[in-house]
């Protein structure tokens, strides 16, 4: 275990003192950010959130840009602090949209009760964005100038990306290139831990076309689309392995028009989840193979893929970064964060650098009215991430 020598102890004292001293200011910023509401599809509201954030980061010295991704979508807020600095940049990523329609919880919904902060998106993930701002301010205060700090915050993460032109994910990917490491500022794990891997998700839609006929007068002419689909459903359901390392589930079925017509159409939707890109590719190929086989001659089958979030894989780079976070926590005398593998997808999968996810405020209840974030955890997290950034040279050398 590394210890904090005299130089380090002085820096630590300055850093922690600054963060503790910014308590009221940062709680006010977090409150205002939460009260600037915006669901993923409320583009005008989201533009106001983005403008508020841009101003906040610019005041901390960032050069920011609101990058348009299409008229139906909120822009991506990108920024860099110290572009001229020599080292490889550190990146903070995430999203500033929420799942809550503006006004769901009345005016000024942010409030604190018994050490917990409440409000739409307080945890998922406006707290995380506010932490990244506090980190930048604290690093400025201690004279950190070794490497640029970048930010990249999307405004459409909670929506249906299948209809989006995918510019956002390309931008997130682009901003991560050349970075030493990245922190995705999503909801922190309730025990104060971070996330080292997430399942990816992809939906498939399968449509069978048959031939409609009257079952009394022309039974032999009919080609029953539901029967054809039934064969396929059973085969698709058998794709999930016993160890559940990936899952495939037919979750919706529609077909037929009445009980006296042989159905000429049947459609299903399939949810699939995988930990690795290899498994995700295997699932795709298996579904396509099943659908390529015809049981009832005269029917045809089409498969389309929708709503894809690639897996956030637990790579060697991810584990090295987790090790670095643990070492930094120990060196600075902070609580060592646990590591979790989670089922829900995130944009950590878009990042082309070692990345940890769930680096935001610890809490729980995302997407529900009981969503809360731990106020103390907000400041602890800022200290931890600053420590990891101050010690980034030892990550580079390891
Ligand atoms: Zn989120």
Q: What is the domain partition of the chain in residue ranges?
A: 6-199+311-397, 200-309
Q: Indicate the fold that domain 6-199+311-397 takes in CATH.
A: Aminopeptidase (3.40.630)
Gap from CA of 125 to ligand 1 centroid (Å): 5
Q: How far does residue 236's CA lie from ligand 1's centre (Å)?
A: 30
3-state DSSP assignment of residue 274: strand
Please tell me which residue, 107 or 325, carries the higher pLDDT value. 325
- Whether 307 has a pLDDT exceeding 90, the answer reads no
**Which pLDDT belongs to residue 163?**
58
Specify the pLDDT at position 6: 86
Question: Using CA of residue 341, residue 346, residue 352, residue 355, what is the dihedral sign?
Answer: negative
CB-based burial label for 381 (10 Å; 0-12, 13-18, 19+): buried
pLDDT of residue 4: 85
Note the pLDDT of residue 191: 95
Position 159 pLDDT exceeds 90: no
Q: 124 C-alpha to center of ligand 1: Å?
A: 5
Return the closest-CA partner of residue 389 out of 359, 367, 349. Answer: 359
CB hemisphere CA count around 10 (13 angstroms): 4
Q: One fold for both 6-199+311-397 and 200-309?
A: no
- Determine the distance separating the centroid of ligand 1 and the alpha carbon of 95, expressed in angstroms: 7
CA–centroid distance, residue 332 to ligand 1 (Å): 28
The string of pLDDT tens digits covering residues 209-248 is 999 999 999 999 999 999 999 999 999 999 999 999 999 9
Pick the range with the lowest mean pLDDT from 127-131, 306-310, 328-332.
Answer: 306-310
**Ligand 1 midpoint to CA 361 (Å):** 11
How far does the centroid of ligand 1 lie from the alpha carbon of residue 8, in Å?
34
Digit-coded pLDDT (tens) for 45-81? 999 999 999 999 999 999 999 999 888 889 999 999 9
Helix, strand, coil percentages (3-state) for the chain, rounded to 5, are: 40, 25, 35
Residue 195: beta bridge partners? 340, 357
- CATH code for the part of the protein at 200-309: 3.30.70.360
- pLDDT at position 72: 84
Lowest-confidence segment of 2-16, 121-135, 158-172, 267-281 by average pLDDT: 158-172
194 Cα–ligand 1 center, Å: 14
Average pLDDT over residues 279-307: 96
Helix (H) or strand (E) holding 151: strand 149-154
Cα-to-centroid distance, 268 and ligand 1 (Å): 28
Report how far residue 181's alpha carbon sits from residue 38's, in angstroms, rounded to the nearest whole number: 29
β partners of residue 151 = 79, 92
Distance 1 CA to ligand 1 centre (A): 33
In the chain, the percentage of residues whose pLDDT exceeds 90 is 88
Rounded to the nearest angstrom, the distance between the alpha carbon of 158 and the centre of ligand 1 is: 7
Please check the confidence at residue 161 and state whether its pLDDT lies above 90.
no
Ligand 1 centroid–CA 346 distance in Å is 7
The token pair that represents 1 in the structure block = 């275990």
Q: What distance in angstroms lies between residue 159's CA and the mean position of ligand 1's atoms?
A: 11
The pLDDT value given to residue 164: 58
Q: CA gyration radius for the chain? A: 25
* Spacing, Cα 76 to ligand 1 middle (Å): 15
pLDDT tier, 162 (very low <50, low <70, confident <90, very high otherwise): low
d(CA 267, CA 261): 17
Which pLDDT score is estimated for 166? Answer: 64
Percent of the chain with pLDDT over 70: 98
Q: State residue 165's pLDDT score.
A: 58
Instruction: Quote the ligand 1 centre to 84 CA distance (angstroms).
Output: 31
Q: From ligand 1's centre to the CA of 148, what distance in Å?
A: 25
142: Cβ contacts below 8 Å, ≥ 6 apart: 11, 14, 15, 18, 390
Mean pLDDT across the chain? 95
- Residue 8 — very low, low, confident or very high, per pLDDT cuts 50/70/90? confident
CA separation, residue 56 to residues 29, 47, 50, 182 (Å):
9, 14, 10, 21
Alpha helices by DSSP H, listed for the chain, are 6-21, 23-35, 43-59, 127-141, 167-176, 225-237, 277-292, 316-331, 375-390, 392-397
The answer to whether 357 touches 312, Cβ cutoff 8 Å, is yes
- Report pLDDT digits (tens) over 330-372: 999 999 999 999 988 889 999 999 999 999 999 999 999 899 9
According to DSSP, the residues that pair with 229 across neighbouring strands are none
Going from the Cα of 320 to the center of ligand 1, the distance in angstroms, rounded, reads 24
Question: Could you give the strand order of the β-sheet that contains 200-209, starting from the edge strand earlier in sequence?
Answer: 246-255, 265-274, 200-209, 300-309
Looking at residue 261, its pLDDT comes to 96
308: pLDDT confidence band, cut at 50, 70 and 90?
confident
pLDDT tens-digit series, residues 168-197: 888 899 999 999 999 999 999 999 999 999
What pLDDT is stored for residue 215 in this prediction? 94
Residue 277 alpha carbon to ligand 1 centre in Å: 21
């Amino acid at each position: 275990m590394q210890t904090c020598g005299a130089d380090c102890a002085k820096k630590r004292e300055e850093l922690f003192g600054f963060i503790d001293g910014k308590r009221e200011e940062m709680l006010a910023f977090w409150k205002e950010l939460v009260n600037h509401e915006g669901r993923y599809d409320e583009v005008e509201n989201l533009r106001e959130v983005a403008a508020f954030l841009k101003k906040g980061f610019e005041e901390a010295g960032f050069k920011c840009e609101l990058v348009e991704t299409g008229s139906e979508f909120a822009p991506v807020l990108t920024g860099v602090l110290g572009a001229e600095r020599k080292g490889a940049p550190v990146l903070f990523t995430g999203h500033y949209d929420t799942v809550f329609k503006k006004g769901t919880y009345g005016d000024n919904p942010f409030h604190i009760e018994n050490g917990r902060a409440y409000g739409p998106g307080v945890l998922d993930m406006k707290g995380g964005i506010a932490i990244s701002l506090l980190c930048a301010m604290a690093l400025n205060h201690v004279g950190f100038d070794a490497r640029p700090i970048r930010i990249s915050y999307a405004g459409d993460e909670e929506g249906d990306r299948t209809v989006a032109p995918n510019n956002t994910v390309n931008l997130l990917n682009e901003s991560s290139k050349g970075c030493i490491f990245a922190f995705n500022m999503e909801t922190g794990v309730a025990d104060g831990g971070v996330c080292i891997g997430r399942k990816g998700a992809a939906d498939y839609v399968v449509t069978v076309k048959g031939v409609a006929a009257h079952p009394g007068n022309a039974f032999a002419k009919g080609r029953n689309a539901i029967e054809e689909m039934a064969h396929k459903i059973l085969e698709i359901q058998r794709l999930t392995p016993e160890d559940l390392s990936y899952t495939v589930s037919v979750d919706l079925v529609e077909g037929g028009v009445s009980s006296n017509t042989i159905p000429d159409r049947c459609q299903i939707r399939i949810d699939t989840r995988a930990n690795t890109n290899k498994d995700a590719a295997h699932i795709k190929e298996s579904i396509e193979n099943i659908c390529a086989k015809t049981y009832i001659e005269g029917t045809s089958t089409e498969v389309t893929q929708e709503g894809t979030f690639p897996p956030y894989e637990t790579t060697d780079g991810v584990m090295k970064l987790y090790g670095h976070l643990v070492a930094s926590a120990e060196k600075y005398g902070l609580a060592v964060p646990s590591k979790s593998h989670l089922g829900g997808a995130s944009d950590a999968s878009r990042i082309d650098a070692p990345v940890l996810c769930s680096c935001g405020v610890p809490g729980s209840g995302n997407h529900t009215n009981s969503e809360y974030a731990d106020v103390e955890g907000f400041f602890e997290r800022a200290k931890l991430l600053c420590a990891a950034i101050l010690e980034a040279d030892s990550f580079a050398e390891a």
